[in-house]
Amino acid sequence: MNFWTKVARLILRNRIIVLILIAAATTFLALQTKNTRFSFSEANLLPEDHEANLEYNKFLEIFGEEGNLIILGVKDSTLFTPEKFNNWNKLVKTFDSVPQVDFTVSLADIQKLKADRKKQKFVVEPLFKGTPKTQEEVNQIKQQLFDKLPFYDNLLYNEGGTIQTAIYIKKSIVNTEERPEFIHNILTPTIEKFEKDNNIEVRISGMPYIRTLNSQNIVDEIGIFVLLALLATAVIFFFFFRSYRATFITLLVVSIGVIWAFGFIGLFGYEITVLTALIPPLIIVIGVPNAIFLINKYQQEVKKHGNQAKSLQRVISKVGNATLMTNITTASGFATFIFVKSQLLREFGILASINIISIFILALLIIPIIYSFMPLPKKKHLNHLEKRWIDNVVKWMENTVRNRRISVYFGTVLIIIFGIIGIYQIRVSGSLIEDMPHGMQFYKDIKFFEKEFGGIMPLEILVDTKKDKGVMKLSTLKKMEKINEAIESFSELSKPVSVINLVKYSKQAYYNGNPKYYQLPTSQEQSHIFAYTKNSTNNSGMLKNFVDSTGRYARITTFMKDIGTDKMDIIQERLKGVVDKEFPKERYNVSFTGKALVFIKGTNYLIKNLVFSLSLAIILISLFMAWMFRSYKMILISLLPNMLPLLLTAGLMGFFDIPIKPSTILVFSIAFGISVDDTIHFLAKYRQELIANDWKIKKSVYAALNETGVSMFYTSIVLFFGFLVFTVSSFGGTIALGGLVSITLLFAMTSNLILLPSLLLTFEDKIANEKVFKEPKIKIIPPKDGDKNSTE
């Protein structure tokens, strides 16, 4: 009695206990779902000890959280009428009284800097007092703002007349659940009421706002994906099997698998991110093929001899090992991400691999046990085993392998050429917002602020003068001005904001507010103007946003448009050129940081790790197949049909301008891990046929093709439509992931059912002897009934 026969008897004899254990595990994991939480911060794609993370953390230590700015924008000339102008200022003031808000900066907060000649210091006074009641007063305010206060240009207004207001939420709530509560329950309703009352469209953006709405989209889509994946797989499953009972059992298995998936996320304390959100529907898509193999085998056995006990035992003993092997290879494809230093991918790899093995165990236990309580399937439930249309599909494949192998190889060469050309056209995208739903209002608002103010994603430049009060030296300020000039030369970056702006404003104030003096002081003017600054206390609040308390560190803040890694690399290189020229390393330390830059560097890091994880997956699965089949020549032959779909996918990405990014980077490992399953099924059946047919190659290849063709076709169609569900997403990366994996797996099936048999027939002289293709280490498919090696 072999191992799997013992497993079958153990399961079926203790079926009540097994069901109780499954129910207990499901209840335990269902309770763990209360610990699931959604990510409130951007995904950090880099290891914690990466240089970019260390620089960013240093910046946060000095200046605090930089992603706490929400901006409101209005481009409407009617805003400058007394009623709407006052209502706008009143709207912003309502947020000042909210506990989640630190402070706001709007038109009503504008302070004019003036020189007090008697006391030799700068004083500030508001641009206007009270509430303007006439159009003339409003016009006067507008004229002063646009003509005499260049300090606020691109901060609170632009030359086109667009007004911008800044809401700084408290740094302590930026990465907590208080942030979405504030945005959903206070900010959005208040602004919607203002828009309705004043007939003015208000644009909202800023990283806290974008992250909140983006996270909400992920939350909304999880439920949609799970329901659509269940519906799609159920419909296809029923179409193939025409059995409500079989469909119900399959849905039960994958539904429990989904509960386990959410439970494991809660149990491990992981956050639900754009990647981990894919796992529950992924488990449905991968779980259904397990059910197809098990139920198909059960119905074949019932049709053969009509003995239920024998049929159920053979389902476990004959299909159990094959499905275990295929699930291990699929899990291995995902598990390679565990070895990547990126926490985001590591968590995804751990969860995906554990859940894949879990759904296999659930299917293997639940399906035979539930069928054991039910009557035998009726004849109508077995009719699908004799469908002519599927026979025609398999016959077409057999005919192609038999008579058109030259065409198959010619097509293979064309695909290889297509893939190689496409690979050279693939671009890398490190954009924070490219994947966001383009139809959503918040994405349109991002584009609005990019056009009007140059972007919303902060890029920070940290200047370390290596000595206290080093920032306010004129020589340092002039060097920083060179960086500012370089930044302003890029259309992809907004006008920079730094202590330079404040020093220029101080000179303007020193010269009675004349805008033409909005520039850095000369060395002769420096002592007079800085003397006024030292005597002033009221502008220290403005200064603390740009310079730390010791005067050693300064920040230059600019905002980036939605640019890819290529453009960002060019910009960074040019800015570094200015830094290297102006800031000697022995006296200064200048670093580039900010969330957007960290994300871009994270994307580049992932690309390097993609090669590593995919190579590791190929090596692991190759070793696994070598151990199973004990034939290295077979590995070389079987790898080509699995590498070809990946090459095709890479080619499609290049030709259709689908960039490599954190979302699409998963395509290759997912597709490779799943497509190898077909190879294992085919080769296992092929070896079985070799033994049964006295090592007659052609007969064995065609027999294996006929036997495995139907199941592989069924599972590939389920996988195709299952992954196609992801294309209904509003996230660009998820759409690309779903479409690419679907196409890759469909082509992988064709490759394994046409190219692999063709290669076996072409190289039959080299592989068709027992010395090469030995007895496998593991009996993947038990011998046929009546074989001399049969254990039954």
The contacts of residue 263 (CB under 8 Å, 6+ apart) are: 26, 28, 29, 30, 31, 32, 33
Instruction: Indicate if 282 and 175 belong to the same structural domain.
Output: no
Q: Is the pLDDT of residue 317 over 90?
A: no
With contact defined as beta carbons under 8 Å apart, do 156 and 88 qualify? Answer: no
| DSSP secondary structure letters along 8-37 | HHHHHHTHHHHHHHHHHHHHHHHHHGGG-E
- If pLDDT is split at 50, 70 and 90, which confidence band does 41 have? low
Instruction: Indicate if 350 and 386 belong to the same structural domain.
Output: yes
Instruction: Indicate if 218 and 269 belong to the same structural domain.
Output: yes
Instruction: Indicate if 259 and 317 belong to the same structural domain.
Output: yes
Query: What does the pLDDT read at residue 555?
Result: 92
Average pLDDT over residues 742-757: 88
- If pLDDT is split at 50, 70 and 90, which confidence band does 543 have? low
> Is 477 among the domain residues?
no
Q: How far is CA 486 from the centre of its chain?
A: 33
Q: What is the pLDDT of residues 131-144, one digit of tens each?
A: 899 999 999 999 98
Beta bridge partners of 164: 73
With contact defined as beta carbons under 8 Å apart, do 224 and 278 qualify? Answer: no
Instruction: Indicate if 354 and 224 belong to the same structural domain.
Output: yes
Beta bridge partners of 702: none
With contact defined as beta carbons under 8 Å apart, do 532 and 506 qualify? Answer: yes
In the chain, the number of structural domains is 2
- If pLDDT is split at 50, 70 and 90, which confidence band does 440 have? confident
Q: Is the pLDDT of residue 732 over 50?
A: yes
Average pLDDT over residues 689-701: 78
**Which one of 486-495, 658-667, 685-694 scores highest in mean pLDDT?**
486-495
Query: What does the pLDDT read at residue 691?
Result: 76
> Is 558 among the domain residues?
no
With contact defined as beta carbons under 8 Å apart, do 68 and 174 qualify? Answer: yes
CA distances from 357 to 323, 476, 669 (A): 10, 60, 17
CA atoms within 13 A on the CB side of 83: 6
With contact defined as beta carbons under 8 Å apart, do 130 and 203 qualify? Answer: no
Query: What does the pLDDT read at residue 789?
Result: 38
Instruction: Indicate if 277 and 170 belong to the same structural domain.
Output: no
CA distances from 627 to 3, 167, 620, 768 (A): 18, 62, 11, 18
Q: Residue 96's domain is classified under what CATH number?
A: 3.30.70.1430
Q: Is the pLDDT of residue 788 over 70?
A: no
Instruction: Indicate if 156 and 247 belong to the same structural domain.
Output: no
97 burial class (0-12, 13-18, 19+ CB within 10 angstroms)?
exposed
Question: Using CA of residue 228, residue 717, residue 690, residue 330, what is the dihedral sign?
Answer: negative
Query: What does the pLDDT read at residue 786?
Result: 43
13: how many CB neighbours lie within 10 A of its CB?
A: 10
DSSP H helices, 462-590, are 474-488, 499-510, 523-535, 540-543, 565-582
Instruction: Indicate if 264 and 193 belong to the same structural domain.
Output: no
Q: Is the pLDDT of residue 701 over 60?
A: yes
Query: What does the pLDDT read at residue 383?
Result: 65
With contact defined as beta carbons under 8 Å apart, do 45 and 606 qualify? Answer: yes
Instruction: Indicate if 226 and 352 belong to the same structural domain.
Output: yes
> Is 127 among the domain residues?
no
Average pLDDT over residues 515-523: 90
Query: What does the pLDDT read at residue 570?
Result: 85
How many residues are given for the chain? 792
Average pLDDT over residues 205-223: 81
With contact defined as beta carbons under 8 Å apart, do 760 and 767 qualify? Answer: yes
CA distances from 317 to 139, 145, 165, 239, 689 (A): 86, 82, 69, 27, 18
Question: In one letter, which amino acid is 413?
Answer: V
Query: What letters, b where the CB count within 10 A reaches 16 and e where it falls short, cover 231-240?
Result: ebbbebbeeb
Query: What does the pLDDT read at residue 196?
Result: 93
- If pLDDT is split at 50, 70 and 90, which confidence band does 85 have? very high
- The pLDDT mean for the chain works out to 83
**Which H or E element spans position 630?**
none
Q: Residue 727's domain is classified under what CATH number?
A: 1.20.1640.10
Query: What does the pLDDT read at residue 698?
Result: 81
Average pLDDT over residues 444-467: 88
Tokens of 757: 């048999």
- If pLDDT is split at 50, 70 and 90, which confidence band does 289 have? confident
Could you tell me which residue, 155 or 603, shows the higher pLDDT? 155
**Which one of 38-52, 419-433, 499-513 scores highest in mean pLDDT?**
499-513
The contacts of residue 177 (CB under 8 Å, 6+ apart) are: 37, 40
> Is 22 among the domain residues?
yes
Query: What does the pLDDT read at residue 393?
Result: 80
What's the CA gap between 155 and 158, in Å, rounded?
8
> Is 429 among the domain residues?
no
Query: What does the pLDDT read at residue 791?
Result: 33
Beta bridge partners of 124: 113
Structural domain range at position 80 = 68-110+149-205
Instruction: Indicate if 299 and 340 belong to the same structural domain.
Output: yes
Instruction: Indicate if 663 and 729 belong to the same structural domain.
Output: yes
Beta bridge partners of 204: 72
**Which one of 249-263, 556-570, 616-630 scores highest in mean pLDDT?**
249-263
Average pLDDT over residues 594-611: 77
Closest CA to 327 of 304, 294, 295: 294
Q: Is the pLDDT of residue 332 over 70?
A: yes
> Is 299 among the domain residues?
yes
Query: What does the pLDDT read at residue 193?
Result: 94
86 burial class (0-12, 13-18, 19+ CB within 10 angstroms)?
middle
> Is 462 among the domain residues?
no
Q: What is the pLDDT of residues 384-418, one digit of tens each?
A: 566 666 778 888 888 888 888 899 999 999 999 99
> Is 464 among the domain residues?
no
What's the CA gap between 679 and 752, in Å, rounded?
6
Instruction: Indicate if 344 and 375 belong to the same structural domain.
Output: yes
Report the greatest alpha carbon distance in the chain. Answer: 112
- If pLDDT is split at 50, 70 and 90, which confidence band does 22 have? very high
Name all contacts of 31-36 with Cβ < 8 Å and 24+ positions apart.
Answer: 31/263, 32/262, 32/263, 32/264, 32/266, 32/267, 33/259, 33/262, 33/263, 33/265, 33/266, 34/266, 35/266, 35/267, 35/269, 36/262, 36/265, 36/266, 36/272
SS3 100: coil
Query: What does the pLDDT read at residue 24?
Result: 96
Query: What does the pLDDT read at residue 66?
Result: 66
Average pLDDT over residues 148-171: 88
Q: Which of 205, 226, 250 is the last residue of a domain?
A: 205
Q: Is the pLDDT of residue 173 over 60?
A: yes
Question: Using CA of residue 581, residue 583, residue 585, residue 589, what is the dihedral sign?
Answer: negative
Pairing of β 457-464 and β 111-116: unpaired
